[in-house]
């Protein structure tokens, strides 16, 4: 009997070993190394306590990275979900071209962020980029600017890139939620004289609460962890005007300041966890109230 009970544990042992080696052990070792002077410039690693964290919070770059990351996450979360919901509502009808449009809007999601970054680097090129060429063609040459090297537009350009890439993912989640809404409720609302807006506000929107929870939570987490797109488009520049948390961590790792970089990574983990848990509680409470 005892042997029969233990038998299923053999199946999870390989998966647990891989998970421990690739996730648990690196996380624990990273936490420990954040309290050391681990670097490429010394063969010995010494315990220095909270010195890495003191240095991190005393530098002005950290505040700028946090501000840029939070601003990016806020704007991207709002507009990705807004555009995704609009696309889902427009494509919820069964039509011959519906599948084509859904595939077209979802395709950017499966493209690697690095490739998207290189693609939009060409689009934003100030001299031969498609965007500025189109503006000049339509007589709007005064709006043709250096999108990635001007501090006024660089972060905005990165946000636009992410909106193009991620809106299709939000669209798919909202489409799945729309398919679960009973048509009887919508028909009953129409019989009662409700227009399109009232049906959306009183029927569709409340029943989409689970989809909103999933989309908002995933978008917030992914936005706070943005890295590849910023790295390729601006590398945190011009200056530090588009520096985000992960580019700050990458910059210190590439300089050999590994202990300092792991401390930065731990701070990012705490920020993402706190924001994600807060969002989850608020959204779950909203689901219950609706």
The tens digit of pLDDT for each residue in 184-222 reads: 888 888 887 878 888 888 888 888 989 999 999 999 999
Q: Is residue 162 within 8 Å of residue 223, measured between CB atoms?
A: yes
The residue written with tokens 């993912």 in the block is: 169
Name all domains of the chain by residue range, CATH numbers in brackets: 52-289 (1.10.3720.10)
Q: What are phi and psi of 140, to 5 degrees?
A: -115, 35
Quickly count: other Cβ atoms within 10 Å of residue 94's Cβ: 7
pLDDT at residue 4 in the model: 53
DSSP state of 125: -
User: What pTM was estimated for this model as a whole?
Assistant: 0.89
Query: Low-confidence residues of the chain, pLDDT below 50?
Result: 1
For residues 72 and 44, what is the distance between their CA atoms, to the nearest angstrom?
A: 39
For residues 134 and 192, what is the distance between their CA atoms, to the nearest angstrom?
A: 48
* Long-range contacts of 81-86, Cβ-Cβ distance < 8 Å, separation of 24 or more: 81/170, 81/212, 81/215, 81/216, 81/219, 83/163, 83/167, 83/170, 83/171, 84/166, 84/167, 84/168, 84/169, 84/170, 84/171, 84/173, 84/174, 84/215, 85/170, 85/171, 85/174, 85/208
For residues 275 and 220, what is the distance between their CA atoms, to the nearest angstrom?
A: 8
For residues 59 and 274, what is the distance between their CA atoms, to the nearest angstrom?
A: 23
pLDDT at residue 1 in the model: 47
The residue written with tokens 């038998």 in the block is: 7
- Per DSSP, the three-state class of 182 is coil
Compute, in degrees rounded to 10, the torsion defined by CA atoms 21, 24, 27, 30.
-50
């Amino acid at each position: 009997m005892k042997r029969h009970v233990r038998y299923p544990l053999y199946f999870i042992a390989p998966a647990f070993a891989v998970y421990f080696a690739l996730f648990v052990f690196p996380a624990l070792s990273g936490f420990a190394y954040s309290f050391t002077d681990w670097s490429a410039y010394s063969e010995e690693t010494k315990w220095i306590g909270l010195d890495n964290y003191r240095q991190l919070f005393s530098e002005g770059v950290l505040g700028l990275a946090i501000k840029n990351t939070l601003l990016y996450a806020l704007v991207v979360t709002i507009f990705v979900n807004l555009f995704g919901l609009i696309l889902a509502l427009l494509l919820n009808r069964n039509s011959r071209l519906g599948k084509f449009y859904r595939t077209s809007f979802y395709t950017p999601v499966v493209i690697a962020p690095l490739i998207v970054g290189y693609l939009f680097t060409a689009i934003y090129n100030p001299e031969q980029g498609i965007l500025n060429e189109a503006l000049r063609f339509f007589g709007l040459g005064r709006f043709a600017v250096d999108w990635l090297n001007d501090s006024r537009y660089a972060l905005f350009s990165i946000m636009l890139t992410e909106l193009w890439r991620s809106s299709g993912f939000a669209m798919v989640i909202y489409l799945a939620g729309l398919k679960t809404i009973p048509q009887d409720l919508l028909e009953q609302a129409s019989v009662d004289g409700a227009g399109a807006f009232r049906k959306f506000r009183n029927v569709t929107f409340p029943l989409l609460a689970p989809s909103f929870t999933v989309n908002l939570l995933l978008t917030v987490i992914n936005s706070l962890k943005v890295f590849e797109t910023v790295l390729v488009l601006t590398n945190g520049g011009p200056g530090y005007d588009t520096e985000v948390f992960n580019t700050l961590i990458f910059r210190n790792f590439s300089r050999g300041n590994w202990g300092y970089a792991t401390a930065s990574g731990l701070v990012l983990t705490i920020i993402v966890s706190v924001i994600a848990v807060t969002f989850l509680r608020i959204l779950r409470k909203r689901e219950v109230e609706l």
